[in-house]
Structure 1
Amino acid sequence: MKNSLGIILIAAAAITIASGGNNPSTSRSTAPNTTRETKSTFPYNITAVDPDVNQQLLKDFTGPKAGFVQVGPSKYIFPQTFKKHAEGLYNLQSRPDDIWVASFPRSGTTLMQELVWLIANDFDYTTAQNKSLDERFPFYEFCVLIHDTIAGREDEDSKKFAEKLLKMIGGPGYEHISNIKTKRFIKTHLPFSLMPPSVMKKKAKVIYMARNPKDVIVSFYYFHRLHRTMRNSVDFKQFWDYFEKDLVNWSPYWSHIKEGYARRNEPNVLFLYYEDVTKDLPLAIQKVAKFIGKKTITEEQVQKLAEHLNIENFRKNTAVNQQNLSKTDNSFIRSGKSTLKGWPKEYTDEIISRVEMWIEKNLADTTLRFPQ
């Protein structure tokens, strides 16, 4: 996933493959199991990244071998395999009782997935502990990165784990998820414009997580280093260069988050800031419970879930931590901290100046503001 093009792959690898098995005890979906609807042609242009840029990305990031493409007016970047799956991803028939968790990578997605799944499944901690989050909450577009992910794994343990997940998934996310008979929980890093139109048409629930880019950049950098999908010689400054130029997976960051923000008043969309969620987990739990239609939730349930999601406990949770695809002992779940004031230690004065101008420029045309 070399998104920075290299980054693209990287994110996919570590984000892990989401298989879509849901809790067998979960009530069956109220939507029809089969819905015949005319497929739509994918409406956006898909173009190859500039050859020189592509070569530099292939040099700095390990993973994809065929290069990258840019999609639509915003030029969202993906591995070239996106072309193969674009129409399938766009044409999934969503159901009214689907729950999607969407975000730009490294924005609190995993935390929200676990929070949502446990509330919706009557706080079934036993299943949550014994079945990986990837099985309970499939990663929708993982198929875009699948072959590159396996190719990028050099050690046998990681290869075997990836192959096991692929077998468990049984095919592209849009095919696998279509066959799930129970209530569906779906994770995606696609922006709203690239998600299936049926999601909004059928009023499926979408929780969009937004996080301050200062922390997203740092987290995404270490994500790549954790999974060694980026050459050791690429330092934080170089990574920031790629991020600023919208050359990392699922970028441009600002186009992505502004699409989510523009949907914040839709009745089936809950737009949340990661900073607010982690600052007051009990409040976030109650807000999400109300949004997904959980009529009763006790104070005891709220406090137990908040403790379960506490960063110190969450980092030790093997059901959500993707160490199987990592080549180190470090955790997929990092510090979970938010830099409301000041700057993470990775930033030099020169980078801070550039990031401040970048943020100011991109906030000029929106009321979007991150918690202070």
Structure 2
Amino acid sequence: MLSETFSKLLFCWFQIIYVTRNPKDTCVSYYHHCRFIEGFKGEFNDFCDLFIEGKGKKIFQQCRLCLMVISTIKSTVSPRDFGPFWTNVSQYWERRNQPNVFFLKYEDLKKDLPACIKEMTKFLGKHLNEDQIKLLTNHLSFSSMKTNKAVNYDDFITLHKNYKLIETDGDFIRAGNVNGYKGEMTEELIRKLDMWMEEQPDSEKLGYR
């Protein structure tokens, strides 16, 4: 959650493109990120419980690499808090009609990337012709991002594997599928997240239930 001071500054002075995603897919993606990039050692079910409860700090405290960084720099700053999910999303959803806020769903990007690019360029006050949009669509495609060393963390991962800081195999950019959670969550876990989502008014507005 943003601090009140930073929130006022952010929403008053900057152009913001905010992307949200189905919380069940977000949970799965965040778990793999923490496990592969930050050394999270806990079980998936426990991670999901922490995600539902919005306990980002507890997730952080189970990330081996994050704790090593804090120990190395002797930081007095509290661990980062990446939750609660709905608190974060709601801050932007309620401001989606502000002229400097562009609210976007990941599912829409997957459904029609060229259309989303056109909307974003309009929001940014730019103009691209059809050829430029095609080039940008190809550049921003999932397959292109997966092999793009500027964003795929390959060098970071190789470095940490060489120093045996992470032991898990995989890629930073994994699958990117819509509803990919169905292949990773048990029916019981899906029901638990569905019940949690039923309690969130913004979930229905966003089309997630």
TM-score, scaled to structure 2: 0.76
Q: Give the Cα–Cα distance (whole angstroms) in 2 for the partners of residues 226 and 207 of structure 1.
A: 27
Partner of 1:134: none
Q: Give the Cα–Cα distance (whole angstroms) in 2 for the partners of residues 256 and 347 of structure 1.
A: 23
1:276 to 91, 103, 108: 108
- What is the Cα-based RMSD across aligned positions, in Å? 2.2
Q: Give the Cα–Cα distance (whole angstroms) in 2 for the partners of residues 367 and 241 of structure 1.
A: 21
Q: Secondary structure at the match of 1:282?
A: helix
- Aligned-pair distance for 1:368? 2.4
Q: Give the Cα–Cα distance (whole angstroms) in 2 for the partners of residues 218 and 335 of structure 1.
A: 11
Question: 1:285–1:196: structure 2 CA closer, same or farther, 3 Å change rule?
Answer: same
- Aligned-pair distance for 1:198? 2.7
Please tell me whether the aligned partners of residues 114 and 133 of structure 2 are also in contact (alpha carbons under 8 angstroms). yes
Residues 182-221 of structure 1: CA deviation (Å, up to 9, x unaligned): xxxxxxxxx484635233333x211111111010000001
Partner of 2:136: 305
Q: Give the Cα–Cα distance (whole angstroms) in 2 for the partners of residues 207 and 198 of structure 1.
A: 15
Q: Give the Cα–Cα distance (whole angstroms) in 2 for the partners of residues 250 and 269 of structure 1.
A: 21
Question: 1:366–1:221: structure 2 CA closer, same or farther, 3 Å change rule?
Answer: closer
Q: Give the Cα–Cα distance (whole angstroms) in 2 for the partners of residues 329 and 322 of structure 1.
A: 13
Please tell me whether the aligned partners of residues 192 and 259 of structure 1 are also in contact (alpha carbons under 8 angstroms). no
- Aligned-pair distance for 1:276? 0.3
Partner of 2:205: 368
Q: Give the Cα–Cα distance (whole angstroms) in 1 for the partners of residues 22 and 189 of structure 2.
A: 16
User: How many residues were matched structurally?
Assistant: 176
Q: Give the Cα–Cα distance (whole angstroms) in 2 for the partners of residues 298 and 250 of structure 1.
A: 38
Question: 1:336–1:349: structure 2 CA closer, same or farther, 3 Å change rule?
Answer: same
Question: 1:353–1:329: structure 2 CA closer, same or farther, 3 Å change rule?
Answer: closer
Identity among equivalent positions (%) equals: 35
Is 1:227 matched up with 2:26? no
Partner of 1:240: 48
**What is the one-letter code of the residue matched to 2:34?**
H
TM-score, scaled to structure 1: 0.44
Q: Give the Cα–Cα distance (whole angstroms) in 2 for the partners of residues 240 and 366 of structure 1.
A: 17
Is 1:262 matched up with 2:94? yes
Q: Give the Cα–Cα distance (whole angstroms) in 2 for the partners of residues 218 and 194 of structure 1.
A: 31
Q: Give the Cα–Cα distance (whole angstroms) in 1 for the partners of residues 30 and 203 of structure 2.
A: 24
Partner of 1:99: none
Question: 1:329–1:349: structure 2 CA closer, same or farther, 3 Å change rule?
Answer: closer
Q: Secondary structure at the match of 1:321?
A: coil
Q: Secondary structure at the match of 1:320?
A: coil
2:187 to 337, 342, 349: 349
Residues 1-372 of structure 1 aligned to structure 2 (within 5 Å):
76=1, 191=2, 193=4, 195-202=6-13, 204-231=14-41, 234-248=42-56, 249-294=81-126, 296-326=127-157, 327=161, 330-339=170-179, 343-363=181-201, 368-370=205-207
Please tell me whether the aligned partners of residues 28 and 181 of structure 2 are also in contact (alpha carbons under 8 angstroms). no
Consecutive unaligned residues of structure 2, counting only runs of 5 or more, are: 57-80, 162-167
- Aligned-pair distance for 1:277? 1.3
Greater helix content: 2
Consecutive unaligned residues of structure 1, counting only runs of 5 or more, are: 1-75, 77-190
